[in-house]
Structure 1
């Protein structure tokens, strides 16, 4: 059955005076700021008078704005933080440079479900159900971070498909350039400070060497062996020494060992002098 003409929306006389009176007497709630004495037609093309700003906003300086915000709690999520470097400054103190308490409610961008473990000072309160769906934080050299379980599954899938392991977001290759070995995944334990467990990411000024640590150790050992053989040759006969009793082949053998030991010590000392992946 078709509607009468006065009830059709396309009728130019859809809302007449008598229907406005009926609307006024109905139980439909009025918009905020209006009472029953106000003659409002309910026209949807214009905002209700109760929501119209009476005065224009007053401009304030940035200093006044920061002063008003000082001491407030700010919750940051994945839309605010995309790189670990943006998060690192809050992990130890829990406050930003303006004195605001920062809480990080971050989710793994691979599964988009599990929450990432954060230090207590920046972790927002969670229900027991949310607490059960958390996983450790894993950081890649490019600065992107994920849940440890999810990124390990991603790396395992890359191996199974016989392709280069990379970052799921920016495709940064997780391989050392010259030796081709995989870059070790680094987890962030919220119970401990960052130094010693997680190096600087590339956006923070960190570096990824051309060779992995074990390849560099093997190279230094081989280089030290070659240098020892050049400086103190092994094939020198005892008769070639001027005074074999005071300085002979046994002394050469001992000095070759000292050269190898000193070069390895220099390598490990250099390793401890800078942070890298």
Structure 2
């Protein structure tokens, strides 16, 4: 595939392709470097900064750095988020503004926000295959995956034969990932950390191994990275027991 070049105002040759596969190939072959990239957002026609946006993958980051949608087309993140928000609020399907491909998470049906373009060669090498070339969008978005994990973890804890019977109605599970903590149910009052029973520890180990397998996949478009590093804790929440007896 020929390399798309243009010359900027300073006379330097710049690579302007905004479809991920040829960008990846050009970077992998060292035909171009990151500093050669000058990518224009297909929505607003302004440049997408490569190195100035934050590293977070959360959808609430409204920088205009380039994101790659599962089809391979690339957009400024703020433009794409605005596009998703508008379509969602007006009852329209969320799709790629270029090819109109639809890539919602397959089970919860929430929209995929794409992945930020990698900024180092390790990220380029590990980036998942786009869907038209064999990639697969995961079942659940980040929030739904957390909620499903919390529900299952709470049920596993309370059903564990090694967990004290008198604590089952006031036990909760927390998941901390990317600096944010979620709980399996609404909590009231102070939480007291509990030692997890061995059966529950085995469940958590298996869960993390499964997430690591998925996250290391070359084809799977997961809702976020490093979920395998989540911290899962058990707590006693006396407020839950008090509420039940009211």
- Structure 1 length normalisation: TM-score? 0.46
Q: How big is the shift at 1:93?
A: 5.3
Which among 98, 105, 111 is matched to residue 176 of structure 1? Answer: 105
User: Hey, what's the Cα distance between the residues in 2 that align with 1:116 and 1:234?
Assistant: 53
User: Hey, what's the Cα distance between the residues in 2 that align with 1:156 and 1:257?
Assistant: 43
Q: Say which SS state the counterpart of residue 272 (structure 1) adopts.
A: helix
Residues 152 and 261 of structure 1, relative CA distance in 2, 3 Å threshold: same
Matched, 1:115 2:42: no
Gaps of 5+ in 2: 7-15, 52-63, 167-193, 216-220, 223-246
Contact residue 108 and residue 115 of structure 1 kept, 8 A: yes
Gaps of 5+ in 1: 1-72, 97-101, 120-134, 238-253
Matched, 1:84 2:20: yes
Q: Say which SS state the counterpart of residue 80 (structure 2) adopts.
A: helix
Contact residue 188 and residue 197 of structure 1 kept, 8 A: no
Within a 5 Å distance, the mapping from 1:1-277 to structure 2 comes to 75-76=4-5, 81=17, 83-91=19-27, 94-95=30-31, 104-111=37-44, 113-118=45-50, 135-188=64-117, 190=119, 193-194=122-123, 199-227=128-156, 232=161, 257-275=197-215, 276-277=221-222
User: Hey, what's the Cα distance between the residues in 1 that align with 2:36 and 2:74?
Assistant: 17
Q: How big is the shift at 1:158?
A: 1.4
Q: How big is the shift at 1:157?
A: 1.8
User: Hey, what's the Cα distance between the residues in 2 that align with 1:118 and 1:170?
Assistant: 23
Q: Say which SS state the counterpart of residue 123 (structure 2) adopts.
A: coil
Q: Say which SS state the counterpart of residue 98 (structure 2) adopts.
A: coil
User: Hey, what's the Cα distance between the residues in 2 that align with 1:184 and 1:144?
Assistant: 12
User: Hey, what's the Cα distance between the residues in 2 that align with 1:179 and 1:92?
Assistant: 35
**Match of 1:9?**
none
Q: How big is the shift at 1:74?
A: 5.3
Contact residue 84 and residue 144 of structure 1 kept, 8 A: yes
- Aligned-CA RMSD value: 4.0
Q: Say which SS state the counterpart of residue 166 (structure 1) adopts.
A: coil
Q: How many residues are aligned here?
A: 167
- Structure 2 length normalisation: TM-score? 0.51
User: Hey, what's the Cα distance between the residues in 2 that align with 1:274 and 1:152?
Assistant: 25
Residues 90 and 196 of structure 1, relative CA distance in 2, 3 Å threshold: closer
Q: Say which SS state the counterpart of residue 89 (structure 1) adopts.
A: helix
Q: Give the structure with the higher percent strand.
A: 2
User: Hey, what's the Cα distance between the residues in 2 that align with 1:196 and 1:272?
Assistant: 17
Q: How big is the shift at 1:141?
A: 1.2
